Structure 1
């Protein structure tokens, strides 16, 4: 059919159906309003040339509703009213009243039809089965405003808690223009994570989807070869073997340097200084970033980008999203310049993450000059906010629980006393022996729940727990709901590291997922725990600290610290 054109996958096709309705060969004087012409048109001609409500399986379900509104309007108008169009003084040319009414009625009809169709389709997609209960909120914005209202607690965000109480553990909503099914149910979350790549794929809200390469064959959420490679290269540079062989002493040196520096500055906002420290260290290990000699402070760019996590993806000058996209472009350009410099001058290579990616370009086709910067950008982002927020919360909890600090100090001073040389560095065996420290780390990770949940996008319609998840919808797995479940963790928002003494491995495996689950479990989990543990080791053995001000925490829905947490560090004698 047709001249043999090819429509590429992913392209949009615009069907200009008005062209048939304004065809002069079918409708004489097509823009002349003439209702009597319909007396002479047969049904075959009408069916081929008149599609005001679309066609095919997508024909507007509200067609009859729209025609009824128009007919009722005309009935009431002509039986109860007369009307006159008033002339406007100074108007050179008046539009006949008949045409004015025609235009007005046409506009009303189009608006009613269009929005009726959109709202009906949005609220009730054609699926087999039933959607979870819930509210889709207002068109376009959905329930976004309720979602971003700060919750003044580390407990589950009020948006989730209120809907759990009203609808149950699984409900539907709409955020920043996207329909979402929210699950706080452990069994459903486990099922979905086990079927990544077949039923769902990694996804974020649309703002993040545009920040990262979440489209095309080399998208960073791919489940196949690309994902396996990303996990492999991350583990190669930040996994257990790398930590044992080389990273542990470097992490320790980095923490010693920064804590000594903070101790000379008076009170510091720990969220700000920790963010800079974590970013600079990770960026150095990935592509050799030298923060002291760099003109750009890249950690500031990442902070700005984070602020657009749930912003409407409107890339219009003047919006925060547009500014963040510009920051992203600048960051990617800098990363690409670094890549091209390494490619052109082998003497600048240093055996890091970037160099391995360059070597692997020979065997992995998806590793292009455009994709490698995207890869580095995503890994930096993943480590930057999660680690800095967790470390900052650690200070909040420690400053409010001096008994925990004392027990940590006892454990770590005992480690130092066992050394032949008290000034020697921390060893892997010492790290693995930190029993109470691990309880403190686990308790901090349990309560912190940095992201509001794990996001996945349905690849096709599927059913779970009696509900249907439509293809294209986002699924938000609220894993923090299990970590803050009062039936498992008594007084769940109370910081109590000792609770971990009484928890068995089965309970922990089902209710503690700080690094995600399934095939997407964070490859940097051990790296994060090592940094936290080493930080605590250096802190309690070498410094005392006092909270000067701040400490208010809220979820918006990600964790924010208001005016910060300002800590005064003092070196111990």
Structure 2
């Protein structure tokens, strides 16, 4: 028979711990909300599938019950969730002073302990400047013809097939292009399929973080190991056989690693390349697929896009010349339709894109008012369901206290789909962006993050998307075949893909080109 004090301990201790879990200590008044079950918190509810374009049931129920700011617990960490535009803006503006980029430990395991989202201060700025050497505006001006060539090549290839699954096809197109720029990777001539590792990575990134054989999260970690092994081997080969001239971004990184007194370690360099490869293609391919989906149901929007791009062709002195930077900047309606989603960034992969994106560095890149189609696509797609920060000290805001060390999750979808901010928010209406100038993030639009970590790679995504749309609507049409349904868990997915038949406008020319290709 157990002594009385042991019986009391077995009963009282769990009760006390459960009470402390549900009622965390605070010097002031915590936001309302529930901490969920011990250890698990409300993680399972957060990951519950959502099949609509509206905000998730997780957010909707809690906003209705607790208001725009509430507390919860995700993956074992206390978190304040903000759907309040003023608090969101304050969080972004106080980066490095009151808040800093933060991810749950499980994400650190996935992206690496030296990933750019986990670095701060001088090191973050240093890496930002490195990435801008490839993705900055001046480089993009030179790169735009290559982007157009890749888009035209893949569209032609797709038109020779009976059906094309857009998410996979566009992901392959963008990954091949970006991997070539980053590491001179050529999928056709390589003995290893690098993107396969990222496919496994993506599937686990938006899964429950349970590292057991057979789980998506376990496969995700295995995919990371394989990809990192390839990158490390490549790094060693480049160091042993340096090139006289830089042929890709990796050459530049290797040169920095080899400099005497450098602050760039091999671990940081490899994590940087890994994140750049992942973030460069996943969100943009989702955005393009989503754009196909909305255009298939909005023929008037498609007609306006076609008219804008046909007018660009008519203004050219040489009809066979490619897209110029000036023409890209003139795509007023295109940008109204597409911009927001493109990245939005990271992660669960969406959730954290705003800090992990290859473009997510300290620079605020100008988002011009000529991005209406892109803006509207991004607003509705909401690829980034949440952006994470950590409170460096205790903060008081609108009567609530956020304790030091707590996580904070900014929720762009709750702002982008708010009827108080946007009329008929679930409708696809690029014209709502007409005449609106966006310089960085605003209280109503934060698809590319905000503040010091505003997505500096946003324009790279926009160039890819806008040029692809130009090639698409001037030369092709398509018929949806099957799929196209979406699910958010919480990141955006197309569980059944989106299969279409791509048809070149010049049918006779298409048949001859397909014959030659075959």
Q: Under a length normalisation based on structure 2, what TM-score does the superposition of the two structures give?
A: 0.86
Q: Larger Rg: 1 or 2?
A: 1
Give 1:348 deviation, angstroms: 8.3
SS in structure 1 of the partner of residue 318 of structure 2: coil
Contact 2:441 2:454 survives alignment (8 Å): no
| 1:37-90 deviation per Cα after TM superposition (whole angstroms, max 9, x unaligned) | xxxxxxxxxxxxxxxxxxxxxxxxxxxxxxxxxxxxxxxxxxxxxxxxxxxxxx
State the alpha-carbon separation in 1 of the partners of residues 295 and 280 from structure 2: 22
| 1:379-401 deviation per Cα after TM superposition (whole angstroms, max 9, x unaligned) | 22222221111111000011111
- 1:277-316 equivalent positions in 2, closer than 5 A: 277-316=173-212
Q: Alpha carbons of 1:568 and 1:311: their partners in 2 closer, same or farther (altered >3 Å)? A: closer
Is structure 2 residue 136 aligned with structure 1 residue 239? yes
Q: Hey, what does 2:76 align to over in structure 1?
A: 177
Q: Alpha carbons of 1:174 and 1:423: their partners in 2 closer, same or farther (altered >3 Å)? A: same
Q: Hey, what does 1:390 align to over in structure 2?
A: 287
Q: Alpha carbons of 1:320 and 1:338: their partners in 2 closer, same or farther (altered >3 Å)? A: same
State the alpha-carbon separation in 2 of the partners of residues 183 and 388 from structure 1: 28
State the alpha-carbon separation in 2 of the partners of residues 109 and 333 from structure 1: 53
Q: Hey, what does 2:390 align to over in structure 1?
A: 457
Give 1:556 deviation, angstroms: 1.4
SS in structure 1 of the partner of residue 205 of structure 2: coil
State the alpha-carbon separation in 1 of the partners of residues 212 and 56 from structure 2: 30
Is structure 2 residue 125 aligned with structure 1 residue 125? no
Contact 1:207 1:310 survives alignment (8 Å): no
Give 1:198 deviation, angstroms: 2.3
SS in structure 2 of the partner of residue 511 of structure 1: coil
Q: Alpha carbons of 1:114 and 1:366: their partners in 2 closer, same or farther (altered >3 Å)? A: farther
- 1:156-305 equivalent positions in 2, closer than 5 A: 156-214=55-113, 220-244=117-141, 246-305=142-201
Q: Hey, what does 1:481 align to over in structure 2?
A: 414
Contact 1:199 1:460 survives alignment (8 Å): yes
Contact 1:213 1:219 survives alignment (8 Å): no
| 1:114-168 deviation per Cα after TM superposition (whole angstroms, max 9, x unaligned) | 4334333333333211110001111122112221221121111121111111100
State the alpha-carbon separation in 2 of the partners of residues 309 and 364 from structure 1: 35
Contact 2:78 2:407 survives alignment (8 Å): yes
Q: Hey, what does 2:355 align to over in structure 1?
A: none
Is structure 2 residue 48 aligned with structure 1 residue 149? yes
- 1:428-467 equivalent positions in 2, closer than 5 A: 428-439=325-336, 440-467=373-400
SS in structure 2 of the partner of residue 510 of structure 1: coil
| 1:273-299 deviation per Cα after TM superposition (whole angstroms, max 9, x unaligned) | 111211221111111111112233222
- 1:342-353 equivalent positions in 2, closer than 5 A: 342-347=238-243, 350-353=246-249
- 1:358-377 equivalent positions in 2, closer than 5 A: 358-361=254-257, 362=259, 365-377=262-274
SS in structure 2 of the partner of residue 101 of structure 1: coil
Q: Hey, what does 2:252 align to over in structure 1?
A: 356
- 1:421-570 equivalent positions in 2, closer than 5 A: 421-439=318-336, 440-501=373-434, 503=436, 509-570=442-503
Give 1:529 deviation, angstroms: 0.9
Give 1:308 deviation, angstroms: 2.5
Q: Alpha carbons of 1:143 and 1:116: their partners in 2 closer, same or farther (altered >3 Å)? A: same
Give 1:505 deviation, angstroms: 5.6
Q: Hey, what does 1:16 align to over in structure 2?
A: none
| 1:453-484 deviation per Cα after TM superposition (whole angstroms, max 9, x unaligned) | 11112233322222122233211101222221
State the alpha-carbon separation in 1 of the partners of residues 404 and 19 from structure 2: 17
235-244 or 451-460, larger mean C-alpha shift: 451-460
Q: Hey, what does 2:14 align to over in structure 1?
A: 115
| 1:82-108 deviation per Cα after TM superposition (whole angstroms, max 9, x unaligned) | xxxxxxxxxxxxxxxxxx534x973x5
Match of 2:2 among 101, 108, 111: 101
SS in structure 1 of the partner of residue 442 of structure 2: helix
318-327 or 365-374, larger mean C-alpha shift: 318-327
State the alpha-carbon separation in 2 of the partners of residues 219 and 537 from structure 1: 33
Q: Hey, what does 2:361 align to over in structure 1?
A: none
Q: Alpha carbons of 1:346 and 1:473: their partners in 2 closer, same or farther (altered >3 Å)? A: same
Q: Alpha carbons of 1:114 and 1:423: their partners in 2 closer, same or farther (altered >3 Å)? A: farther
SS in structure 2 of the partner of residue 346 of structure 1: coil
Q: Hey, what does 1:320 align to over in structure 2?
A: 216
Q: Hey, what does 2:504 align to over in structure 1?
A: 571
Q: Alpha carbons of 1:254 and 1:506: their partners in 2 closer, same or farther (altered >3 Å)? A: closer
Give 1:500 deviation, angstroms: 1.7
Q: Which runs of 5 or more structure 1 residues have no equivalent in the other structure? A: 1-99
Contact 1:203 1:455 survives alignment (8 Å): yes
SS in structure 2 of the partner of residue 544 of structure 1: strand
Q: Which runs of 5 or more structure 2 residues have no equivalent in the other structure? A: 337-372, 507-518
State the alpha-carbon separation in 1 of the partners of residues 32 and 385 from structure 2: 20
338-347 or 191-200, larger mean C-alpha shift: 191-200
Give 1:321 deviation, angstroms: 2.2
Contact 2:417 2:425 survives alignment (8 Å): yes
Contact 1:214 1:220 survives alignment (8 Å): no
Q: Alpha carbons of 1:389 and 1:507: their partners in 2 closer, same or farther (altered >3 Å)? A: closer
Give 1:205 deviation, angstroms: 3.4
Contact 1:336 1:370 survives alignment (8 Å): no
